[in-house]
Structure 1
């Protein structure tokens, strides 16, 4: 039986999460308008119609709020990647599954450029972008790709083959470079077709992946398709 105290505690927690969600929503608007340095707890409190001290009960300082926003972004990007893995379960070609995973990654980044840049750019001097909670969230991103090279399930670098980790890091490095330049407007300024470049680069970086049925004695052979 739920006691009155438990009900009060549950209601309080729901209210707390609602307020934190409202705060993060305003902070994301500030982020999109002026970058991470434009995020201000006092300005958020004013927009929400509460006092600064009242808001500090939820976030004692701006860095705490930024930590939450960064971790949320990692989780959202990971969710998009997980959905791509599930959607391609029936594809027999691991290279194509990896490319679809890369497409999901790029798609999320282009839809959320300000949040994507939070993950991979220094926010401002003094901010610790490598604290334990953020490091744990960051480490999640490698799991879906490692799973494609293993048994199809989510894996971590701790239980993956070193050669698989190496390959995923190479794919990720190439992918991140392309996405970062695209978000920064470099390709548009150079009149480069970003879609074509992305497709070509992902084809190249995943080329070593072959259907299991087409690999024999360490070399690729025709599959008969």
Structure 2
């Protein structure tokens, strides 16, 4: 079954949305998520503020899309690490590396809440994917003997 062809208009819309998100990430990196301004992004892209609202209906809609992207990226990173049997310590290093490589994404999902923003329910589901990867690694880890087990064995 052949994939449906994407019209030039749909490709253009997708590209403009990607450009808006790229500018939003730059803005967040510079002044934090609370400083996100759709009008400033529109100006940087050479469009009017109202024109930008054809691509994202509100600031919250754009923030939600950015959070989705950040969580999906982290979930994919965790799945790849979990598949390589990285272990709990390995996943901790993966999370740290992800945070250092993309600090604006890390702070958007784990930092100070954005004033006035309320995430939709599907964001929680994406966050649960990350927790599921962590729990899978924990479940697969062999329990270690308590440090005192070796000591008591020597006493016997």
**TM-score grouping bracket, smaller chain normalisation:** 0.7 to 0.9
Aligned CA RMSD, in angstroms, stands at 2.7
Structure 1-normalised TM-score? Answer: 0.58
Among candidates 21, 24, 27, match of residue 27 of structure 1: 24
| Rounded Cα–Cα distance in structure 1 between residues aligned with 2:143 and 2:54 | 51
Among candidates 90, 98, 101, match of residue 100 of structure 1: 90
Alignment of 1:123 onto 2:114: yes
Structure with higher RCO (Cα < 8 A, 6+ apart): 2
Number of paired residues?
A: 147
Residue of structure 2 in register with 1:144 after alignment: 133
SS at match of 1:24: helix
Among candidates 99, 115, 118, match of residue 109 of structure 1: 99
Structure 1 outlier segments of 4+, above 4 Å:
none
Residue of structure 2 in register with 1:83 after alignment: 80
Q: Which runs of 5+ in 2 are unaligned?
A: 151-156
SS at match of 2:7: helix
Alignment of 1:135 onto 2:106: no
| Rounded Cα–Cα distance in structure 2 between residues aligned with 1:113 and 1:19 | 24
> How far off is 1:76 after superposition?
0.9
SS at match of 1:88: coil
Q: Which runs of 5+ in 1 are unaligned?
A: 90-96, 153-205, 215-219
